[in-house]
Structure 1
Amino acid sequence: MPRDQPDWIIERRRDLGERIADLRAAAHHTQETFCATTGISRSTLQRIEAGEADPRYGDLLRIAAALDKSISTLVDPPR
């Protein structure tokens, strides 16, 4: 992945991916079942959860809906 973004953005992207993966697992979804529910390809979900891709807004909406969470729960770090 090119390092064309500041470290803090790369860190936040990784945090977001970890949070999505943790919430997905807590909801008892495999990547396969989650992808079927959201319509997001497995390769895209893998890249998002690994912090290698910036999810599109539509993807965040679908992820949040499938997890019954708000987008802010996904993107805001816990306090």
Structure 2
Amino acid sequence: MPRDNPDWIIERRRDLGERIADLRVAAHHTQESFCEVTGLSRRNLQRIESGEGDPRYGDLLRIAAALDQRISVLVDC
């Protein structure tokens, strides 16, 4: 993660990751089963859920579809 990001971006990234993890668990998915559904690598999912990764838009679309949610729910718009 670039060090030049302001704290608010880092916090929002963590919030996004926590929201995705919470929704994934509520949908009864392990990280492994969720990766199978979304096509994401486990490492990529781990980085997103921990707030370390900066997910691509396509990744967010796949995650939202797998969770049967709108992307705005993930990013809390």
Q: How far 1:2 sits from its partner (Å)? A: 3.6
Give me the identity figure in percent: 82
Q: How far 1:3 sits from its partner (Å)? A: 1.8
**1:55 alignment partner, SS class:** coil
Q: 1:44 matched to which residue of 2? A: 44
Name the TM-score, length of structure 1 as normaliser. Answer: 0.94
Partner letter of residue 68 of structure 2?
A: D
Deviation string, structure 1 residues 28-75 (Cα, Å, up to 9, x no partner): 000000000000000000000000011000000000000000000000
**1:68 alignment partner, SS class:** coil
Runs of 4+ with deviation above 2 angstroms: none
Whether 1:4 aligns to 2:4 is yes
Q: How far 1:4 sits from its partner (Å)? A: 1.4
Partner letter of residue 51 of structure 2?
A: G
Gaps of 5+ in 2: none
Residues 1-79 of structure 1 mapped to structure 2, 5 A cutoff? 1-76=1-76
